[in-house]
Amino acid sequence: MTDQNPEKTFCYRHPDRETLLTCNRCGNPICTECAVLTPTGYRCKDCVRGQQKIFDTAQTTDYVIAVLVAGGIGALAAVLLRLVPFIGFFLILIGPVVGNLIARAVQWSVKRRRSKLLHQVATGAAVIGSLLPQLPLLLLLIPGLNSNLSSLGGSLLSLVWQGLYIFLLASSLYYRLRGIQIR
């Protein structure tokens, strides 16, 4: 107990509130109201806000780029895969590969800027892009448009593989994009 200089500290935003807490990043004294508990300890609101800005670097144009890149590659891959006969089950293996490919392309084209919304937009665009070339297949399933029942059965099975393909593509794309952010 060396109390020769009992310096009282006050919250940097509320000068009337005495406090013992300090922000563990900038060292500012903070009152309990101003303190934000983060995984690394108490921080002031300014530092927390600053951190979020560092993580969310995406610009408006990045959303457009992400939609074009993810949707474009998604559609292109879907068109190419439709040309492969009897691909069925293998779509499940190809889905994550295409997802990773799109993730790399998106990250590269937006210069690794990021935000949660950007990742969601890119994933959504990839799903829509992958679905578009499937529209003729979906039309086949509308009763009346298709009188050939044997081809209908094949289309249904194909639709199941396509569905799994798009699901795996989207989840691997999204988690790859998000994973980069955590690092």
Residue numbers at the binding site for Zn ion (CB under 5 A) = 11, 13-14, 23, 25-26, 31, 34, 44, 47
Q: How far is the CB of 139 from Zn ion (least distance, A)?
A: 58
Residue among 42 and 175 whose Cβ is closer to Zn ion = 42
Q: Are 55 and 181 in contact (CB under 8 A)?
A: yes
Q: How far is the CB of 41 from Zn ion (least distance, A)?
A: 11
Residue among 46 and 56 whose Cβ is closer to Zn ion = 46
Q: How far is the CB of 52 from Zn ion (least distance, A)?
A: 13
Distant-in-sequence contacts of 119-123, Cβ < 8 A, 24+ apart? 119/174, 119/177, 119/178, 119/181, 120/174, 121/63, 121/66, 121/67, 122/66, 122/67, 122/69, 122/70, 122/173, 122/177, 123/70, 123/170, 123/173, 123/174, 123/177
- Alpha-helical segments (H) within 32-89: 45-55, 60-83
Q: How far is the CB of 40 from Zn ion (least distance, A)?
A: 12
Residue among 47 and 67 whose Cβ is closer to Zn ion = 47
- Number of residues that this document lists for the chain: 183
Amino acid letter for position 167: F
Residue among 34 and 166 whose Cβ is closer to Zn ion = 34
Q: How far is the CB of 7 from Zn ion (least distance, A)?
A: 18
Strand 36-38 vs strand 41-43: parallel, antiparallel, or unpaired? antiparallel
Residues 6+ apart with CB under 8 A from 138: 159
Residue among 17 and 113 whose Cβ is closer to Zn ion = 17
Amino acid letter for position 165: Y
